[in-house]
Amino acid sequence: MRELWNLFSCFFKIGAFTFGSGYAMISLIEREVVDKHCWFEREDFLNHFTLAQSAPGPFSLNAAAFVGFRVKGYWGALVSVLGLVIPSFVIILLIAMYLTDIRDNETVNAAFKALRPCVVALIAVPCIRMFIKMKWPQMIVAVAALGILLVSGISPIYMLLLGALLGVALTYFRKS
């Protein structure tokens, strides 16, 4: 029961204090899951991060579900997702109730504009950390994939599918 509470409070804190997309949560999730609670080794976390990113649905919910399931099975997944979702739900509900009063407030608009660079930094930091921990062949593939995406304008979904297929093929050929 204590482990379920730890999962809930961990993801509740992440959900309550993160602005931006699920990618802005990566560094907080990594710090909590790997460094603080030691539920994952760093390499294992990166593998689950990749899986959560490629699974359908919002990344942050997938990550919470994967961590929760790993720690405490189905109940852990449910508790983790609830912990992540409840703060956002309550905040959005309150904003929706009172937004008409502050919609044109210059101070509120300025605060949201000031948060934009913070969200970019929250997304960039874990990406840079992950890049630094890669081996040279992985770095080359990552840079090549980024270059292809920037130059060609194709959807990142196709790049993810290609990466998944190549990963499966490499694993298959290494085993045989």
Two tokens, residue 95: 């904003």
Q: pTM, whole model, 2 decimals?
A: 0.62
Give the Cα separation of 170 and 106 in Å (integer): 54
Two tokens, residue 3: 């482990």
Give the helix/strand (H/E) hosting 35: none
Q: Could you tell me the residue range of the domain that residue 26 belongs to?
A: 2-113
Give the mean pLDDT of 29-49.
86
How does residue 57 score in pLDDT terms, banded at 50, 70 and 90? confident
**Position 37 in a domain:** yes
**Position 141 in a domain:** no
**Position 8 in a domain:** yes
pLDDT of 164 reads 85
Give the mean pLDDT of 16-39.
82
Lowest mean pLDDT among 77-86, 123-132, 140-149: 123-132
**Position 6 in a domain:** yes
Q: Please, what is the Cα angle at 133 between 49 and 119, to 5 degrees?
A: 55
Two tokens, residue 78: 């449910």
**Total domains, the chain:** 1
**Position 175 in a domain:** no
Two tokens, residue 146: 């980024």
pLDDT of 21 reads 66
**Position 77 in a domain:** yes
**Position 128 in a domain:** no
Give the Cα separation of 97 and 95 in Å (integer): 5
> Is the separation of the CB atoms in 9 and 83 below 8 Å?
yes
**Position 42 in a domain:** yes
pLDDT of 139 reads 87
